[in-house]
Amino acid sequence: MHGLGELEAAVMDVLWREATPLKVRDVLERLDTGRQLAYTTVMTVLDNLHRKQWVERERHGKAYVYETVMTREEAAARALRDILDTSGDPHGVLMHFVASVSDEETDILRGALRKKRRR
């Protein structure tokens, strides 16, 4: 995900797959990065994600539980918005993107633009 490091993205993936907030230990147990991670590493990553406003946390007893503040789709849209805003040529970026979309994605874009016009 744009704006996140590899481990941050893996932690977000765990949180997006779950329907309920998770403790650090829960996230650690569900992470599959191919390497052994320390509890404190995952705790630091979650703290960083909280500081970056990707997750919110609430104290439950002595521990925090964490949940995402946006869906995976909202995060992807935010990343695209950031790319367009910082590209220097949003028109060019969009034109290159449109040239790469499938027929099905083209239909989705057309439908979304029709809905936007009606609002």
36 found inside a domain: yes
- Yes or no: say if 31 and 14 are a contact pair by the CB < 8 Å rule: yes
| Domain at 37, CATH number | 1.10.10.10
Q: Would residue 11 count as lying in a domain?
A: yes
Structural domain of residue 51, as residue ranges? 6-68
- For 46, other C-beta atoms within 10 Å of its C-beta total 24
DSSP class per residue in 64-109: EEEEESS-HHHHHHHHHHHHHHHSS-HHHHHHHHHHH--HHHHHHH
13 and 52 housed in the same domain: yes
pTM, rounded to two decimals: 0.82
pLDDT for 9: 95
Indicate whether 75 belongs to any domain. no
pLDDT(20) > 80: yes
Q: How many domains does the chain have?
A: 2
Q: How far does the chain reach from its first CA to its final CA, in angstroms?
A: 30
Q: Is residue 41 part of a domain?
A: yes
pLDDT in tens, 55-97: 999 999 999 999 999 999 999 999 899 999 999 999 999 999 9
Residue 19: what pLDDT? 85
Q: Looking at the domain assignment, is residue 63 inside a domain?
A: yes
Residue 119's pLDDT is what? Answer: 82
Residue corresponding to tokens 């104290």: 59
Percent of the chain topping pLDDT 70: 98
